[in-house]
Amino acid sequence: MSDVSGAARWFGPSADLGAPPHATWLACLIALVALLVLGNLANDTTLDVKYGWDVRVNCAAVDAHVEGLDPYFVRNLKGTRLSYPYLPVTLDAFRPFCARGFLVGHYRSVYLVLAVLCGLLLPGLRGTRASPRDVALRVLCALGAFVGFEWVAASGNFAVLSGVLTAVALALLLRPGAPDVRDDQGFVARLAGAALLGLVMSFKLVFCPVLAALYFLPLPRRRKIILIAVAGFSFALPILISMLFYPDLFSSWLLAIKGQIPNQHSVYLEETNPSLLLLARSVMDKVGLADSQPVVFATYGLAALALLLAPFAVSLLRAIGKAGDESFLTRLDRWLMDHPHAAMRVTVLAMYAFYLCSPRLKEYAFFELALYAAVLIVDLPAAMLAAMLTVAIAIPTLASITGNAFVDSFGQIAVAILCFWILLLDFRAVPKRLAQEGSRP
């Protein structure tokens, strides 16, 4: 067998790539992008910058809590001027990670291992055993897409921990095989996945709309509603536990996130971040309307609708089509059940869109967005895959290496939206290919 044929088998997409020359240039592109990502991460370690500010804050808060101090007052945190933004229940949940200071001293290597683990845990959508090529693409996307992991590694944010839980939740939710109302074992696994996803969303409250994407799973409506209810309960549970068992700390947490503790750093909705809300505020600032909150939020809503939600809805309506006098939900449910492979793809696309609509999207949060992209990228044909690798990974990585102000503006969200359009364009262009392996006869 020739080297080109071997490359075709390893680098060819899940849908047929066609001629071996496609595999050759795609193999070269994947290798080049991987070198860029590894080079960028290695370059960061040589810079004279004190990294890990978030992991120091988190572990300082845990230490303060252990000592009986209120960790939401920055004066009680050693070695930092930043505030602790998470629910009180997380102070005990994070205690094992901060024990003996190991994580603070070695977090970069630990995070790298966890990011690779995310790529290994992520599921495929075809129901077949993942090929080495699929696994490599998922790991590459997790490490390099939108320079999200670079920000996680720089800041030490615990987004990598929620990323691992997200990967496990997706593996449980996106189980292969045709839907079956009698598949109780599979449904129990999905219940566990929904509960885990709800817990992940409670870690960063602004991402809770992602849970609504569970409705697009290829399951009977009753089971989907149960999944959403379980996810919602799981999302609310840490809040309830914090209110009931940490009442004083919960009050301090509310003051901290509202910015009502004087003379200290606070985390608030319009803190600098590359989100659609801040983009809308920036646009309104240019026309002198940035001080009008209703105008800013209306612009933000219109942007989310025009750039993400409306294109997604139109593409889905186009795929479903019209049939008789049935209601939209009835037609949607039947289409999702009849096309389980496409339904799971739609589910992840919806998660991607809802996540990207968040009003507060910090730079490191793009790491978790990269995990949703990693699930979707492996099924793309050669041209679309090349476009995704270039836009999602190569361009942001090159900008980071050259010191471009890419992440200091709205470059991350612009690239993420462009990638969403690429994924949506593929779904619109070839719905039969997306459902081919999962359709019922």
- Assign 258 a pLDDT band (cuts: 50, 70, 90): confident
Q: What is the pLDDT of residues 204-251, one digit of tens each?
A: 899 999 999 999 999 999 999 999 999 999 999 999 999 999 999 999
- Assign 288 a pLDDT band (cuts: 50, 70, 90): confident
Plot region of 16 (φ>0 → left; ψ -120 to 50 → alpha; else → beta): beta
pLDDT value of residue 124: 87
Q: What is the pLDDT of residues 358-417, one digit of tens each?
A: 998 999 999 999 999 999 999 898 899 999 999 999 999 999 888 765 555 789 999 999
For residue 196, the one-letter residue type is L
Rounded to whole angstroms, what are the CA distances from 337 to 47, 192, 220, 301, 407? 52, 21, 8, 31, 41
pTM above 0.85, yes or no: yes
Query: Quick check: 12 pLDDT over 70?
Result: no
pLDDT value of residue 326: 79
CB pairs under 8 A, 24+ apart, for 269-275?
269/359, 269/360, 271/360, 273/360, 273/361, 273/362, 273/363, 274/361, 274/363, 274/407, 274/409, 274/410, 274/411, 274/412, 274/413, 275/358, 275/359, 275/360, 275/361, 275/413
| Token reading at 320 | 């479903």
pLDDT value of residue 182: 62
Considering only the C-alpha atoms of the chain, give the largest distance between any 2 of them, rounded to a whole number of Å.
70
As a whole number, the mean pLDDT across the chain is: 87
User: Within its chain, how far is the Cα of 106 from the centroid?
Assistant: 24
